[in-house]
Structure 1
Amino acid sequence: MVLKPNYYTVSIALAITAMAASLGIYSSRLFSKSETITLASNSDLTTQSFSTFKSRSVWVYALAFYPDGKTLVSGSYDGTIKIWNLHSGKLLRTFKAHTDAIESLAISPDGNILASGSWDNRIKLWNLQTGTLISTLAGHTDDVKAIAISPNGKLLASGSTDKTIRLWDLNTGKQLSAFEDEDWVRSVAFSPQGSTLASGNESGSIKIWQLPSRKVLHVLSGHSGRVRSLAFSSDGQTLASGSADKTIKLWHITNGRTLCSVVGHSAEVLSVDFSSDQQTLASSSYDKTIKLWHVPTGELLNNLTEHSKPVWSVAFSPQGNTLASGSGDETIKLWRIPIAKQPLSSTLSICSNSVNRY
């Protein structure tokens, strides 16, 4: 079964240079003038797309859902952030947040704070209620590759090519601690309980840190390329990692052992995310595809091929029924995720395959 998007395809390449400046949407305020997107019919009734002005390439690097799942935030290569109403198909706001690419976004559990991490070495905190810039977190000396907010909304973790992980007080913006890695830090993720932090680096190593002691509980070895993405299952027992070695690995957090290795992408895995019910794992790749995996068996459920360029980011809505994907083809696609009755293929089974099970 090949799944097609039956919600929206969002064209993200807006005329955001001269036109945006004339509208006054490049400012420190988040709530600037909104734009209405025109809904366009499509011959395929399962797909609706809406488009807007197009002037230059804008790769979509980062995505984050509001807690209610009704609004999506995207971060792009040109340093802009866009906020989308997913029900109406309306682009609510656009603002110039950074002077370089935004590779990571995170929203606090209460939906009040948006954090953005950029190649300009900065992290910015935005008040989603008032639309103001709360603070700029300076400390990293190189690209900020990843950020994550703790489940209790008190901490922000960041990883950088300066080979450090930093912890920040989300309320005050104060840096609480910094600890070093042996290589560029490419990904970070809090466990659902907030008691541990996972980090992945350029050389393929993953560390599980105990908080607040910063003690290394496990070093997870197995990837032969950089770890671009990390995601915890909702029960906190399993960690998924996506790597430049074209594989996804599932790890048991308690003992640090590999549960299984997912082989299916033909190029670097760029992003992974679990559905809220822990049954589905989404992965995206430089091979332009998104794959949906059945977690209990490791079977491939769906292979999504609508994007025409690398898919930099995937994110499930908190409710788990919608998957968002952001790509170098200048689009965001939203996918309704049905329950697949049968896996698409058994040849890519990994958790149930003794050859790939550890």
Structure 2
Amino acid sequence: MTCISRRPAPLLAGLLAVLPAMLSILPAAAQMRGHGGPVRALALSHDGRLAISGSFDQSAILWGLDTGAALGVLRFHEGAVNAVAGLPDGRFASASEDGRIALWRLGRAEPEQVLDGHSGPVAGLAVSADGAALASASWDGTARVWPLAGGAPRVLEGHRGNVNAVAFLPDGRPVTAGADATVRVWPSEGASLTLATLPTALSALAVTADGEIAAAGADATLRFLRADGTVRAAVELGPQPVIALAPSPDGRRIAAATAGGTVAVVERETARVLLRLVGPGLPVWSVAWRPDGTELVTGGGDRLVRRWDARSGEPIGALAMPRPGNPLAAYHGDRGAEVFGACVACHTLTPGEETRAGPTLAGLFGRRIASLPDYRYSEPLKRMDIVWTPETVARLFEVGPARYTPGTKMPEQTIGSAADREALVRFLEKATRQP
């Protein structure tokens, strides 16, 4: 069932009144630290002074870009915040793996509206050129177009699998890209037009003011598509997949962020890489331009929001490159630790570490499922009668989270090897034991 709910929200006292002064007197910081997990999404206000970031730690943060000050931490979602957007009326939108979209107004501690209708994680958001509609892409296989003035959304069905990205053409038609390797344009009525089927699963999409579509994904190649779906130009940016795209305000350049930790700035006309932004080597999950096109803002696996000179590729301010400490360093050579490496981005092993997308595993064995008081679990998990033991953990990864714990927000994954499951359990018994 689709609904739009409105929630009362108390004002954060005096924030709107003092914001101009805060932006002028606080010291500038080119690297903004505040998230407890990778920065999954970024968007800027229309004047470029404010940014919103979304993270695997389930929060969004509003920033003053010229000062580096965090103006508010927005906590509402029950899962990683995968997408954010700035709206023309000054509001911001955040969307999560919990399937919900929250609309925020500066100075309020709770969402002004909640758009509820997706049955799977929301992976992308886009705002129409006229500011009248917000589009969302979801892993439930659909996209939706929400009228911001109110009313039921238009549901776009046709992709086979996850819809990973969404954008709008200048004439208002939505465009989507998905794991089925297709780019689809949606006319005002009826089924979608499959504009192109590309050689790879797609994770990123951008549309320029003249209507050209840029798409990229697993094969690390950025492709520019004509209106008839043919590829006008392509540029390889590998070896790592492209996971985010952003067109410059003038449409002449495309910023392409990669899982390898770099951002390529590509000249659209020639499909030539003009420069690369090189960070600490961790995935860059999100990228956005400031309105004058001279500066880029990125968010990545180092949990920082960073500012860059888009003309030189140099960081603005001193570029510290701290890599988060490796919690598995003490277990070098342990097969179970190697298997757990796929989980460390979302789960901590010891108490007191920064919040991540999933609950801490400290003291895991003997604990009832969904019982930590400071973590937001889905309602189906709260109703389950499972106690974590070596046997139940092994079973979780034998059949997969979706079957063993229906309603979980955990990404679907299985461990086919019984030996690897046993090694993982032995590792967790050691690493999560509390004094």
* Residues 317-336 of structure 1 deviation map (CA, whole Å, 9 limit, x = unaligned): 23222211110111111112
Is the Cα contact below 8 Å between 2:265 and 2:273 reproduced in 1?
A: yes
Distance in 1 (CA, whole Å) between partners of 2:282 and 2:10 is 32
Q: 2:178 aligns with which of 198, 201, 206?
A: 201
The answer on 1:274 being equivalent to 2:247 is yes
Is the Cα contact below 8 Å between 1:78 and 1:99 reproduced in 2?
A: no
Residue in 2 aligned with 1:329?
302
Identity percentage of aligned residues: 29
Residue in 2 aligned with 1:297?
270
The answer on 1:105 being equivalent to 2:84 is yes
Residue in 1 aligned with 2:422?
none
Is the Cα contact below 8 Å between 1:247 and 1:265 reproduced in 2?
A: yes
Residue in 1 aligned with 2:213?
239
Distance in 2 (CA, whole Å) between partners of 1:74 and 1:265 is 26
Relative to structure 1, the CA distance from residue 258 to residue 115 in structure 2 (aligned partners, 3 Å threshold; closer, same or farther) is: same
The answer on 1:136 being equivalent to 2:114 is yes
The answer on 1:250 being equivalent to 2:224 is yes
Distance in 2 (CA, whole Å) between partners of 1:311 and 1:339 is 18
Q: 1:230 aligns with which of 196, 205, 218?
A: 205
Residue in 2 aligned with 1:63?
42
Is the Cα contact below 8 Å between 1:33 and 1:93 reproduced in 2?
A: no
What TM-score, normalized by structure 2, do the two folds share? 0.64
The answer on 1:73 being equivalent to 2:52 is yes
Relative to structure 1, the CA distance from residue 50 to residue 199 in structure 2 (aligned partners, 3 Å threshold; closer, same or farther) is: closer
Distance in 2 (CA, whole Å) between partners of 1:214 and 1:125 is 28
Distance in 2 (CA, whole Å) between partners of 1:51 and 1:38 is 13
* Residues 6-38 of structure 1 deviation map (CA, whole Å, 9 limit, x = unaligned): xxxxxxxxxxxxxxxxxxxxx966847989898
Distance in 2 (CA, whole Å) between partners of 1:295 and 1:304 is 17
Distance in 1 (CA, whole Å) between partners of 2:11 and 2:38 is 20
Report how far residue 191 of structure 1 moved: 1.3
Report how far residue 296 of structure 1 moved: 1.5
Kindly provide the amino acid, as one letter, of the partner of residue 306 in structure 1: G
* Residues 130-169 of structure 1 deviation map (CA, whole Å, 9 limit, x = unaligned): 5652221211111111121212222121111111111222
Q: 1:221 aligns with which of 197, 202, 219?
A: 197
Relative to structure 1, the CA distance from residue 145 to residue 214 in structure 2 (aligned partners, 3 Å threshold; closer, same or farther) is: farther
Residue in 2 aligned with 1:5?
none
Q: 2:170 aligns with which of 180, 189, 192?
A: 192
Relative to structure 1, the CA distance from residue 29 to residue 151 in structure 2 (aligned partners, 3 Å threshold; closer, same or farther) is: farther
Structure with the higher helix share, 1 or 2: 2
Report how far residue 122 of structure 1 moved: 0.9
Cα RMSD (Å): 2.6
Residue in 2 aligned with 1:9?
none
Residue in 2 aligned with 1:344?
none
* Residues 196-241 of structure 1 deviation map (CA, whole Å, 9 limit, x = unaligned): 211011121111111x2144234311232x21111111222x1111
Kindly provide the amino acid, as one letter, of the partner of residue 196 in structure 2: L
Residue in 2 aligned with 1:17?
none
The answer on 1:312 being equivalent to 2:281 is no
In structure 1, stretches of 5+ residues that fail to align are 1-26, 41-47, 341-358
Residue in 2 aligned with 1:353?
none
Kindly provide the amino acid, as one letter, of the partner of residue 169 in structure 1: P
Report how far residue 39 of structure 1 moved: 5.0
Kindly provide the amino acid, as one letter, of the partner of residue 208 in structure 1: V
Is the Cα contact below 8 Å between 1:126 and 1:135 reproduced in 2?
A: yes
Q: 1:153 aligns with which of 118, 127, 131?
A: 131
Residue in 1 aligned with 2:399?
none
Distance in 2 (CA, whole Å) between partners of 1:214 and 1:137 is 23
Kindly provide the amino acid, as one letter, of the partner of residue 201 in structure 1: G
Residue in 2 aligned with 1:95?
74
Is the Cα contact below 8 Å between 1:205 and 1:223 reproduced in 2?
A: no
Distance in 2 (CA, whole Å) between partners of 1:172 and 1:301 is 42
What TM-score, normalized by structure 1, do the two folds share? 0.76
Is the Cα contact below 8 Å between 2:135 and 2:144 reproduced in 1?
A: yes
Distance in 2 (CA, whole Å) between partners of 1:152 and 1:118 is 24
Residue in 2 aligned with 1:347?
none
Kindly provide the amino acid, as one letter, of the partner of residue 98 in structure 2: D
Report how far residue 187 of structure 1 moved: 0.5
In structure 2, stretches of 5+ residues that fail to align are 1-7, 314-435
Distance in 2 (CA, whole Å) between partners of 1:326 and 1:184 is 23
Distance in 2 (CA, whole Å) between partners of 1:323 and 1:206 is 26
* Residues 47-92 of structure 1 deviation map (CA, whole Å, 9 limit, x = unaligned): x645667xx8411000010000111111111121111111222211
Kindly provide the amino acid, as one letter, of the partner of residue 162 in structure 1: D
Relative to structure 1, the CA distance from residue 307 to residue 31 in structure 2 (aligned partners, 3 Å threshold; closer, same or farther) is: farther
SS of aligned partner of 1:133: coil
* Higher-Rg member (1/2): 2
Distance in 2 (CA, whole Å) between partners of 1:80 and 1:121 is 14
Structure with the higher strand share, 1 or 2: 1
Distance in 1 (CA, whole Å) between partners of 2:100 and 2:13 is 22
Is the Cα contact below 8 Å between 2:183 and 2:197 reproduced in 1?
A: yes
Relative to structure 1, the CA distance from residue 285 to residue 110 in structure 2 (aligned partners, 3 Å threshold; closer, same or farther) is: same
Distance in 1 (CA, whole Å) between partners of 2:13 and 2:216 is 36
Residue in 1 aligned with 2:61?
82
* Matched length: 299
Kindly provide the amino acid, as one letter, of the partner of residue 178 in structure 2: N
Distance in 2 (CA, whole Å) between partners of 1:144 and 1:177 is 14
